[in-house]
Structure 1
């Protein structure tokens, strides 16, 4: 299963720091996260979502060893 790690406001809105998911693609994962955590779904389009440390598109396949980081926008510079 894919490990999903939430940071800052994403962690607050998901109600957890990490979890395991079995979605086949990043796009499927985004849709299920938005459905499962409506507050996270509001900011998810603005979040940086990394798969194994790289920005990825919705067609990116997720596997058992994948790590997805959900990073909300940060203020400041």
Structure 2
């Protein structure tokens, strides 16, 4: 999930329509000719992180159990 969520170069090369851009490609569009507009870029970055954070919050117990079980033998 995260590997595709953070994918930048391949979608940048392939996609022609802005409606199909991935999150990183869309965030890169906030860069202007004279620099980065920090306010909108920060807001968009927070919105981009929210789905991953929500998934982690709801699946945190399973993540911890999986990490704890990796060191057990038997």
Q: TM-score, normalised by structure 1?
A: 0.25
Higher helix share: 2
